[in-house]
Structure 1
Amino acid sequence: MKVVVYEYLTARGLVTDPMYAEGRAMRDAVAADFAALPGCAVVTPDADDAAAFAAADWALVVAPESDGILLDRCRRVLDAGGRLLGPSLAAVELTSDKLALHDHWRARAVPTPATTDRAPTACEAFPVVWKPRDGCGSTATFLLRDRFELVQAQALAAEEYPGPMILQEYVPGVAASVGFLCGPEGNVPLLPTTQILSADGRFHYRGGELPLPPALAERAVSLATRAVACVPGLCGYVGVDLILGDGRDVAVEINPRLTTSYVGLRALAADNLAAALLRVAGGDVRRPVRWHDGGVRFASDGTVVHATFKSG
C-alpha cells in the first residue's frame, strides 16, 4: 500500500508562515504512523505531485482552509485520479465556511454561537469575537471587549487578512476539541483535548492537554458527535472545536483535515492511529481505539512537553 501525505506549508517551503511548525509536526507525526504499518510506503511530496497522487492508494491532504487552499488541493488529488483520505469536496467547502456551517448547524439544532457577516460597530453588546469567515489558526481573530478594542482590531485586521470577516457571540468556557475518525459506516470519537490558547484576546494556539476530566469529556463527545453526524461526506480525520461553558456548550467549527491535536493523541494511544484511520475510512468501526492510562501535554510545534503513563 502507498500513502501520500501532502502538507501544504512544508511542500511549498513556506518556512516564514506562522503555522509552518504546526504543519510540519502534523506531517511528520502521521507519516511516521503510516510508515510503521507493515507493507506501507509513505510519500511526502515537496510539490503538487499529480503523479504521486494518482499512484497512491490514499492521499491525505493537510492545508489551511483559508482562501480555498484546502479545497483546491483536495480537488487536485481527485483531478489526478487519486483517492482522498479525507472529506468530500462538498464537506470541505461547507466546513471551511464558518458562516455556512453556522447556518447548517442552526437548522439542525446543533448549539453554536450566534454568527453574522455584518461589520462590528461601537454599539455591540460586548464582548464579541471578530474573525475571518474562512480563516485558519488565529489570523485576524479578536476578542472585542469594548469599542476601543474594536478600533485597534480594525487596523490589525486590515494588515493580517483581506477577506470577509464574521462577527460571533462570545461564549466563555473551556476551549476543547474532539478528533474523529470518519468513514462510511460511522464516526469514531478520539479522546477530547483541552486547547491551550493565549490570554491576550487573540486566541493564539499554544498546544493542548489530554484527556479532559471525565465529566467534561462526556459533554464534549456528546456535542461533537452531533456536530459531525449532520455533515454529510466527512471521511478520514476531522477535528471539532468546542466551548464547554457554565451550563452551555457550543460547537464552534469543524476542521476538515488533520489537526495539531493528532501529535498529542498519538502519544497517548495504545494503537497506531494511522491504522485505525484506514480501518474506519474503509468501513470498519467495530474496533475502538485503545488508550494508555495517563496524560499528555503538547506544544503547537508538535513537541510533547509532558507525558505520564500509568502501569497496569
Structure 2
Amino acid sequence: MSEIEEILIVGASTRAAAFSAIRAGFRPRCLDLFADADLADHAPVVRFDPDRDADGLERLADSLGCESWMFTGSMEARPDLVERLSRVGRRLGNGPEVLRRVRDPWQVSDVLRGEGLPSPALRRDLSEASASGRWLRKSRVRAGGLGVAWAEPGRDAPDDAHDFQEFLEGPTFSGLFIAASGRARLIGAARQFLGAPDAPFLYRGGIAPWGLSEATDAELGRIGEALAGAFGLVGLFGVDFILNAGRPWVVEVNPRYTASVELFELSSGRVLLRDHVRACVEGELVEELGPSRRAPVVGKRVVYARCPVRFPKVEVPRWSVDAPFATPPIADVPQEGTRIEPGEPILSVLATAETSDECLAQLDAQERGWLDRLG
C-alpha cells in the first residue's frame, strides 16, 4: 500500500471520498459530475458525466495520470465503464463482474434466503396473482434512488431493466462494511433519509453512528459475511435495509465507497479509506476497528432546489491538516453562478451533536436556512 501516492476517484460526487483520501495521506484527482468549489480547492477535478462523456473516459483518466483508481456513487450501475477503467490502472474496489452480480436483486435475494436472512419478495411481473400489497419498481441501470418509483400494477409492463420489489414499512438504514478475502466486518449503521421533490426515494442524507439492538447488529453482520463470501466483495461497501419487526430487510447493495463513510470517519476519527486500500491491495481485513476516540453523531443533509437557483458567492470551508476530522457546516458547494434547476442538489449541510435528535434538529434548521436564503 505504501507505493500508492495518488488515487483517481470517479463518480457522480467525489468530494467526500477525495477528503477521505487526503486524510489517508493520498493525493486525489477526480472525475466528477459537479466539480464543486470545495473539491476544486483541494484536488484537481475534471467534469465527467457518465451518460455524455463516456466515449472520452480513458482519455480523461489518462490526463489525470493516476496508476490507481476507485469509484463512488452511480458508477456501480455502469460496469461497462468500470471494465474500461480497469484496463487503464489498478482498481481499488469491486470489478465489473462483481457489480453485475451483486446489483442483480434476484442473486442477492437467493444468497440471503439461502442463509435464512431477511429479503423482500421480488416479482418480474405484477400481473401475477400473488403480487398483492404495495410494490416498488426498481431500475437496474440507475443508482442513488433515482430509479425507484411506486409500481402501478396493470400499467408497468415487465422489462429487462426493472424489477418489482415488495414495499416494507419501517425506517431506512445503511450498514457499512469492509470486506477482503471473502469475509466482511460491520463498521456500523447509519440512519438514512429519503425524498426530494418528485423523487420520493432519492437519497437525502443520513446520521451516523446509529445504535441498533445487539440482535440486529448480529444479523447485519451475518448479512455482510454472506454477501462478501458469495460475491467476492472487496473494500468498503454498503447495504441499504428497512428495519421491520426488528430485522434488517436488505433492499439494495452498494458495492463501493458510500455516503456514510464520511460520517463514520468524522465521528470516529478513523481513516476508513486507508483500511479500504489495504483490503483491496493486500487482501487484509482489519480485525478490530477499535473504539471511537470520541462519541458524537454526525449528520449530512442534501438540500434540493425548490425553484431555479443561481448559486451566490459564499465562503467555502477550508479543510485543514491540523483538524482533519472537523465537520464543516456545508459541503459539496457549487461554483459561484452555477445554475441549479428544481429538484437538483444545491449543497450538503452537516452537523455534529451528542444525540441523533439534536443532530437532526440542526440539519432541519440549516436546510430551512438555505432554502429561505435561496428561495
Q: TM-score range by the shorter chain?
A: 0.7 to 0.9
| Structure of higher RCO (CA pairs closer than 8 Å, 6+ residues apart) | 1
Find the aligned partners of 1:220 and 1:201 in 2 and give their Cα distance. 30
Q: Which residue of 2 aligns with 1:78?
A: 86
1:262 matched residue in structure 2 = 261
Corresponding residue for residue 297 of structure 2: 295
Q: Distance in 1 between matches of 2:352 and 2:188?
A: 15
Q: 2:116 aligns with which of 94, 109, 126?
A: 109
- Tell me which amino acid in the other structure corresponds to 2:19: A
Conserved? CA contact 1:91–1:231, under 8 Å:
no
Give the secondary-structure state (helix, strand or coil) at the position aligned to 1:288.
coil
Specify the code of the residue in structure 1 equivalent to 2:15.
D
Other structure's SS at 2:80 match = helix
Aligned residues of 1:99 and 1:166 also touching (Cα < 8 A): no
Q: CA deviation at 1:121?
A: 7.1
Q: Is the 8 A contact 2:83 2:95 kept in 1?
A: no
Matched, 1:306 2:351: yes
- Using the size of structure 2 for normalisation, the TM-score is 0.64
- Number of the residue aligned with 2:105: 98
Letter in 1 for 2:301: A
**For the Cα contact (< 8 Å) 2:206–2:260, is it kept in 1?**
yes
User: Secondary structure at 1:224's aligned position in 2?
Assistant: helix
The letter for the 2-side match of 1:274 is L
User: What is the match of residue 20 of structure 1?
Assistant: none
Letter matched to residue 33 of structure 1: S
Flag the 1:209–1:235 CA change in 2: closer, same or farther, 3 A. same
Where does residue 137 of structure 1 map in the other structure?
144
CA distance in 1, matches of 2:239, 2:221: 12
- Equivalent position SS for 1:92: helix
Residue equivalent to 2:248: 249
The answer as to whether partners of 1:296 and 1:304 remain within 8 angstroms in 2 is: no
Which residue, 194, 201, 204 being the options, matches 1:203? 201
* Shift of residue 192, structure 1, vs aligned partner: 0.5
Alpha-carbon distance, 1:256 to partner: 1.1
Partner residue of 1:7 out of 5, 10, 26: 10
**Aligned mates of 1:108, 1:65 — CA distance in 2:** 29
Kindly provide the amino acid, as one letter, of the partner of residue 77 in structure 1.
L
Corresponding residue of 2:72: 62
Hey, what does 1:16 align to over in structure 2?
none
Structure 1 position 233 matched with structure 2 position 232:
yes
1:4–1:52: 8 Å Cα contact kept in structure 2?
no
Write the deviation string for residues 162-214 of structure 1: whole angstroms up to 9, x where unpaired: 96221122222221111112223732322201111239993232111122224
- State the AA in 2 paired with 1:249: P
- Distance in 1 (CA, whole Å) between partners of 2:210 and 2:8 is 29
Query: In structure 1, what is the equivalent of residue 30 of structure 2?
Result: 44
> 1:220: Cα distance to partner?
6.0
Q: SS at the partner of 1:204? A: strand
Take 2:114 and 2:64, find their aligned partners in 1: how far apart are those partners?
38
Q: Does 1:177 align with 2:177?
A: no
List gaps (5 residues or longer) in structure 2.
32-45, 49-56, 304-330, 332-347, 356-375
The equivalent residue for 1:126 is: 133
1:294 Cα deviation from its structure 2 partner: 1.6
Q: Aligned in 2, Cα 1:122/1:105: closer, same or farther, shift over 3 Å?
A: closer
Whole-Å Cα distance in 2 between the matches of residues 212 and 240 of structure 1? 14
Unmatched tracts of structure 1, length 5 or more: 10-22
Aligned to 1:286: 287
Comparing 45-54 and 260-269, the one that deviates more: 45-54
Q: Which amino acid aligns with 1:243?
A: I
* From 188, 191, 198, the counterpart of 2:188: 191
Q: Partner amino acid for 2:82?
A: C
Q: Compared with structure 1, are the counterparts of its residues 304 and 263 closer, same or farther at alpha carbon in structure 2 (3 Å cutoff)?
A: farther
Instruction: Give the Cα–Cα distance (whole angstroms) in 2 for the partners of residues 264 and 89 of structure 1.
Output: 27
Give the stretch that moved more between structures: 174-183 or 298-307: 298-307
Shift of 1:122: 9.5
Contact map agreement 1:223 1:250 (CA 8 A) in 2: no
RMSD: 3.3
Q: Does the CA-based 8 Å contact 1:185-1:284 persist in structure 2?
A: no
What is the total number of aligned residue pairs between the two structures?
A: 280
Are the equivalent residues in 1 in contact too, given 2:9–2:28 (CA < 8 A)?
Answer: no
Larger Rg computed on CA atoms: 2
Label 1:247 to 1:307 Cα distance change in 2 as closer, same or farther (>3 A).
closer
- Judging changes above 3 Å, is the alpha-carbon distance between structure 1 residues 227 and 212 closer, same or farther for their aligned structure 2 residues? farther
Q: Deviations over 1:53-88 (max 9, x none)?
A: 99645311225257x51x1222112222x2211113
Contact 1:122–1:150 (Cα < 8 Å) also in 2: no
| Offset of residue 97 of structure 1 | 2.0
- d(CA) in 2 for partners of 1:214, 1:123: 33
Q: 1:43 to 1:192 in 2, by over 3 A?
A: same
